[in-house]
Structures are given as structure tokens and as C-alpha cells.
Amino acid sequence: MMKKSTIKLCYRKIIDSSSTKPWDKFVLEDSYAEFRLQVQNFTQVKQYPSLAELVHEVPEAKKINQMVGPAITGYIQQLNEVVPDILNNLGRRFIKFKTYQFEIINSHFDHKEKHQVAISFFSEPMIWYGTIDNYLLLSSAGQETEEVLTHLLQLQPYLSIYSLTQCHELDTISG
Amino acid sequence: MERKNFLKSLLVGTVSSSVLLQACKKDADVTATSTSTSGTTTGTTTGSTSGTCSVIETETEGPYPTKAPASYVRSDITDGRSGYKMTVSIAITNYNDSCNAVANALVDIWHCDAEGNYSEYGGSGSQSTNYQSVHFLRGRQTTNSAGVVTFTSIFPGWYTGRATHIHVHIYNASGTSLKVTQIAFPEGTGTALAAVGGYSKGFSGYTYNASDNVFSDGTSLEMATVTGNTTDGFALSIVMAVPA
């Protein structure tokens, strides 16, 4: 039986023109509209309407991620600090998050269909007890009872263990 | 018990049984997604997928997401920064149309705080869900029928190499940039700039308009009118003509 560890999960949610859920579409629409506004702060966008080319020519344009992020904070708030999409084996969302990172994977000033963003959600600390087939056995941290409430989480694309802290047994000091 | 049979037995009494049947098929995704190996990505999934049976979200349907404005859209951009209160009133006129007012134009402004620092938009790394003050002194308003926007802010500080200024970016209603410019402040005895006195830095090493690389060629079009005092606060107003 492996030693239990404290971990943080990361789920990187990709949103693009193939996304169908209402929340996803709001995020895509609004981030694209904000991208078109903010990218015009870089005059070279007329010559390089593709974000990939613009960043290549104008490295400073990388901060477009931070400039566009405020367009979607309202939608992040609507999640009430629960990571979307990722379900435990009972079919419920269960992962709490307090930090996230927004990035524009690609975009184009004239072609909305090229706009693709990612939101990485970083979970609150959880205890990882072990792995059964391809399911992680987890619980939220800080449960002080002998019987701990756990979740089974299937390993899946775009979900990772982001950080790990081994739990060490305290040294026994006699005398 | 064989896994597939066990899961099929759970279908009795479920609400969205066709969805569950779908998910238990070998290659099923609930939404049309696939992840290719070359590093490109598409779409999102409502359930976990791996070619075996997947759970589907079975929770009470929550409130649907509602349209939310960008968090830039606010009139008060102070975000708790200390400094002398100042209202900013900008009127946008169309120099392609007899200087008539431009309604529904988007006006972004941003400036530094009393110490001369700009907000970082949202930080360069991960952001907190408690996002107070991440883009202080940055805001966006839409001009009314009179072509006017108003903000509540503080009198800006200054930083080495630049005279006191406020950045302005004006867009038309469809988001096309009309003008990127900066607002300059009157200098000399009796002005607001003198009254504020550069906050704690004073004016040692200050760059005045005549030496400023943006304003040195003249400030007649960018010069604001600033009235008021440190007790009651200041009021800045300016008319800006754009090619709308």
C-alpha cells in the first residue's frame, strides 16, 4: 500500500469553436471580443493578424493572456469554486479550486474560428491514498475523523497531478 | 460480476438513459470531441473518456451561466488605491463629422498609482478566484448619446522618464480601434499637479511635458482641464476628436 500524499490536481480545460456548452461558448465569445480589443494595442497586428505570428515578431505580445483574462472573470465566478467537467465516479463534480490560469492557445484577428483558449484549474490540496485500476482514491485534505469520505477519480486527458507533498511520519522522540 | 452488465443494470430508473447507453459504448464521447496525438486539442467532454464506460454528469441542473461583462467595465477604477480622488470626464467627438458626439464608443483608460506603478492585469502566473484589485486603475466605459464617459479614480502618480499622464484607447461600437492616445496634465503654480506635489516622491527627477518623449511635440490636443483641490478632490475633463 503506497504512502499517502498530499496532492494538487490540475485540469486544463480547452475551449474552441467545437465547444457546445453554454458556459464554454460565453467564455470563447467574450475572450475573443476582448482579444480583438486588446490586440489592437500592438500596432503590428495589422501586419500579423495571427496571434502566433504576432508573438513571434513582437515577444511583448505574450502578455495578451493577462490583458484578455479579465474578460472572463465573471464566468469563473459563476463556477462557485468547483472545477467544471471533472466528475467523481458517482457522476458529481467535486474538485474545489481557488486559483486558475487563463491562456489563449491561438487566435486570429480576422478568423474567429481559430480562437482557442485554455483555463487551467488548480485544486485545493487533496489526499491521495492509492490507485485502483486507473482510478485515483482521493479525499479532501483536513478531515480529522477516523472514517474519511473519499472519491474515485478516473485518470483522463487534460487531468494531472500538479504537485505532490509526501506525508512524513513524525519522528518518535523518547525521554 | 462483469463490469458492463453491472453498469447496464443501473439503467433501470435513470432519467437520461439514452445518454448513459451512449456513454457505455466503446468509443463514445457525449459531446463530439477527440484528442489527437499531435498536440492539437478540440472541445470539452462532459464525462471522462477512455474507451471504457464513463460516468455522466448526474446532478441537479444548476443555474445556467449568464452573460457577464469583462471586469474592466466599471466606472470606479480606484480599487482601493490611495490617492486624491479625481473624476475623469472624457467627451469623444468625430472629426470626420463636424465634431459631433460619438455615442457607443468604448473608452479604455489606465494609469499608474500614487507610487508610479501600473497594475499587472491579473498577474503573470495563476490568478486567485478572489480577484480583488488585480487590474487597479484600469477601466472601460461606453460613451452615452452625448459622447461622454465618466470614471472615478485618483490623481495619478509619476515614474521616471514620463510626465504625469493617463492612457486612453478609444474603439468604435464594433471594436475597431479609433485612437490610442494619452492625456497630459497642466503644469505650474496653482495647478492640480502642483497641489498634489508628486505624492511622497515630490518632483525630484520629474520629467515635465516639454521634455516628455510623448508630449514634447505639443500637448494642445491632449491637455486636460483639471479643477479642484486636495480636500474636495479633483475633476478632470477633456474633449477628444477621433476619426469615427
pLDDT tens string B208-243: 999 999 998 888 889 999 999 999 999 999 999 999
The partner residue sitting opposite B57, judged by closest CB among A36, A91, A158, is A91
Residue B180 at interface with chain A, using a CB cutoff of 8 Å: yes
The whole-number pLDDT of residue A169 equals 65
Lowest mean pLDDT among A82-96, B20-34, B183-197: B20-34
Reference B124, options A94, A125, A93, A62; nearest CA is A62
The whole-number pLDDT of residue A26 equals 97
Q: Where are the domains of chain B?
A: 1-59, 85-242
Rounded-to-integer distance, Cα B156 and Cα B85, Å: 10
- Nearest 5°: the CA angle B105, A69, A15 is 110
Cβ contact A76–B129 (<8 Å) = yes
Sign of CA dihedral A100, A39, A15, A70: positive
A120 belongs to a structural domain: yes
Coil vs helix vs strand at B150: strand
Helices and strands counted in chain A (H then E): 4, 7
Give yes or no for a contact between B60 and B47, defined as CB atoms under 8 angstroms apart: no
Give yes or no for a contact between A16 and B42, defined as CB atoms under 8 angstroms apart: yes
Coil vs helix vs strand at A168: coil
The CATH homologous superfamily of the domain defined by B85-242: Aromatic compound dioxygenase (2.60.130.10)
Residue B64 at interface with chain A, using a CB cutoff of 8 Å: yes
Is the interface score ipTM higher than 0.90?
no
* Structural domain harbouring A14: 5-166
A174 belongs to a structural domain: no
Q: How confident is the model at residue A170 (pLDDT cuts 50, 70, 90)?
A: low
State the average pLDDT over residues A111-138.
97
Q: How confident is the model at residue A112 (pLDDT cuts 50, 70, 90)?
A: very high
A38 belongs to a structural domain: yes
Could you tell me how far CA A3 lies from the centroid of its own chain? Answer: 27
Cβ contact B177–A93 (<8 Å) = no
What is the spatial order of strands in the sheet that B165-171 belongs to?
A: B138-142, B106-110, B165-171, B177-184
State the average pLDDT over residues A158-168.
90
A172 belongs to a structural domain: no
The whole-number pLDDT of residue A86 equals 96
Cβ contact B171–A134 (<8 Å) = no
Statement: residue B81 has pLDDT above 90:
yes
pLDDT digits (tens, 9 = 90+) for B110-143: 999 999 999 976 555 778 887 765 789 999 999 9
**Closest CA in chain A for residue B61:** A92
Please count the structural domains in chain A.
1
The whole-number pLDDT of residue B41 equals 36
Backbone φ and ψ of A172, nearest 5°: -85, 125
The whole-number pLDDT of residue A1 equals 60
Rounded-to-integer distance, Cα A73 and Cα A88, Å: 26
Reference B133, options B76, B86, B89, B88; nearest CA is B76
Give every CB contact of residue B77 below 8 A, 6+ residues apart in sequence: B109, B136, B137, B138, B139, B151, B152, B153
The whole-number pLDDT of residue B128 equals 83
Rounded-to-integer distance, Cα B70 and Cα A31, Å: 9
A27 belongs to a structural domain: yes
**% of chain B with per-residue pLDDT over 90:** 64
pLDDT digits (tens, 9 = 90+) for A7-25: 999 999 999 999 999 999 9
The whole-number pLDDT of residue B48 equals 46
A57 Rama class: left (phi>0) / alpha (psi -120 to 50) / beta: alpha
Helices and strands counted in chain B (H then E): 3, 10
What are the strands, taking DSSP E only, across B14-164? 85-94, 100-101, 106-110, 127-128, 138-142, 148-154
Summary mean pLDDT of chain B: 82
**Closest CA in chain A for residue B122:** A66
Cα–Cα distances in Å, from B42 out to A16, A118, B38, B45? 7, 11, 12, 10
Give every CB contact of residue B38 below 8 A, 6+ residues apart in sequence: none
Chosen from B3, B121, B140 to mutate, greatest number of chain A CBs within 10 A:
B121
Coil vs helix vs strand at A23: helix
Statement: residue B3 has pLDDT above 80:
no
Give yes or no for a contact between B196 and B187, defined as CB atoms under 8 angstroms apart: no
Measure in Å the smallest separation between the Cα of B209 and chain A Cα atoms: 23
Cβ contact B127–A92 (<8 Å) = no
Lowest mean pLDDT among B36-45, B53-62, B107-116, B183-192: B36-45
Q: How confident is the model at residue B15 (pLDDT cuts 50, 70, 90)?
A: very low
Give every CB contact of residue B242 below 8 A, 6+ residues apart in sequence: B92, B93, B94, B95, B102, B105, B170, B178, B179
